[in-house]
């Protein structure tokens, strides 16, 4: 029996990429997804000859072994993504649509594939992926006024917000459920007006941010500020957005947002927007640290390394 598998990142880009594809190619499929950070999704798929996979918005490099296994078993795969793919295997059953340009997200790649037929969802996704310029450019032929554009932006941000958390339990909706709800609407403006899920996400997002904004910094100077959020689902949902907002509000300052967790902290670092480098170097000096120059993190900073981290953080951005 032939099976269809839709394997997608649980963020706005992954969900809206699938939305576009399935509006054009409706079919019942097995949905494989998770929280945003859960990107090794192909290892969960058992498929073989006659099966078809659509993979959306997860890195090929991080799924290479599972992809090889599935291709060898005879599955056919279309792979749409914008992360660095590593070496792309040459296989007759694999078609890749990969573009790592910084102003491209997976939904814009799917938009290209579908010749723009579900463009409005690509606009939602680009806003959700923090590519506001690309979103506005993609929206031009749709001739939306600024009010409607702002609505699409809010929708993208809300769908994206729902993907943040350590596990599915932290989220308001499992991403597969959110996709199934979205899939009932061809038009995002109908979703915005008619779907209660939209209001739930919008107000939950505002609540989480308001809670974060009540937290006093552990340390705040001209050059750097450090915040510690409690071990709670809302902290895990909103810490990345909170760090980005701090960075935008204080562009000359570096920020560290720590979330308490058993045994230590999950760390997000944002270099000053005015001098966006050094975050990766700082984090790599600690076990489980990594990221990009402007934004980096540490998976688990042990409790006893807190003081050492504070000193290194201050020194890195003094």
Using CB under 5 A, list all residues that contact Mn ion. 13, 57, 105-106, 129
CB 227 within 8 A of CB 215: yes
Q: Which two tokens stand for residue 212?
A: 């974060």
Please choose, from the candidates 87, 88, 86, the residue with its C-alpha nearest in 3D space to the C-alpha of residue 77: 88
Secondary structure element (H or E) that encloses residue 146, with its range: helix 146-161
Cα–Cα dist 258/226, whole Å: 8
Q: Please state the closest distance from residue 9 (CB atom) to Mn ion, in A.
A: 6
Q: Please state the closest distance from residue 79 (CB atom) to Mn ion, in A.
A: 13
Cα–Cα dist 59/86, whole Å: 9
Would you say 98 or 183 has its CB closer to Mn ion? 98
Would you say 9 or 154 has its CB closer to Mn ion? 9
What residue is closest to Mn ion based on CB?
A: 13
CB 160 within 8 A of CB 124: no
Q: Please state the closest distance from residue 57 (CB atom) to Mn ion, in A.
A: 4
Would you say 58 or 258 has its CB closer to Mn ion? 58
Q: Please state the closest distance from residue 48 (CB atom) to Mn ion, in A.
A: 28
Q: Please state the closest distance from residue 82 (CB atom) to Mn ion, in A.
A: 6
CB 3 within 8 A of CB 47: yes
Cα–Cα dist 35/57, whole Å: 12
Would you say 105 or 123 has its CB closer to Mn ion? 105
Cα–Cα dist 132/61, whole Å: 27
Would you say 156 or 289 has its CB closer to Mn ion? 156
């Amino acid at each position: 029996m032939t099976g269809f598998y839709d394997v997608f990142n649980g963020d706005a880009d992954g969900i809206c990429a699938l939305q576009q594809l399935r509006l054009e190619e409706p079919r019942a499929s097995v949905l494989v997804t998770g929280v945003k950070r859960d990107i090794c999704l192909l290892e969960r798929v058992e498929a073989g000859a006659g099966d078809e996979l659509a993979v959306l918005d997860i890195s090929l490099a991080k799924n290479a072994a599972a992809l090889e296994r599935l291709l060898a078993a005879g599955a056919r795969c279309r792979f749409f993504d914008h992360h660095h793919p590593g070496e792309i295997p040459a296989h007759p059953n694999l078609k890749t649509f990969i573009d790592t340009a910084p102003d491209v997200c997976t939904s814009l790649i799917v938009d290209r594939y579908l010749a723009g037929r579900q463009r409005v969802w690509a606009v939602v996704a680009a806003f959700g992926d923090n590519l506001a310029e690309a979103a506005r450019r993609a929206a031009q032929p749709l001739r939306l006024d600024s009010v409607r554009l702002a609505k699409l932006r809010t929708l993208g941000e809300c769908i994206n917000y729902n993907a943040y958390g350590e596990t599915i339990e932290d989220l308001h909706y499992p991403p597969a459920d959110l996709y199934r709800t979205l899939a009932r609407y061809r038009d995002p403006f109908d979703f915005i007006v008619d779907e209660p899920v939209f209001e739930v996400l919008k107000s939950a997002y505002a609540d989480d941010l308001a809670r974060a904004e009540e937290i006093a910094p552990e340390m705040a100077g001209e050059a750097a500020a450090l915040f510690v959020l409690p071990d709670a689902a809302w902290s895990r949902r909103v810490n990345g957005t909170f760090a980005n907002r701090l960075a935008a509000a204080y562009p000359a300052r570096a920020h560290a947002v720590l979330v308490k967790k058993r045994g230590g902290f999950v760390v997000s670092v944002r270099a000053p927007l005015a001098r966006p480098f050094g975050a990766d170097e700082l984090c790599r000096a600690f076990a489980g640290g990594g990221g990009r120059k402007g934004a980096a993190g540490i998976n688990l900073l042990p409790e006893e390394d807190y003081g050492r981290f504070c000193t290194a953080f201050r020194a890195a951005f003094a």
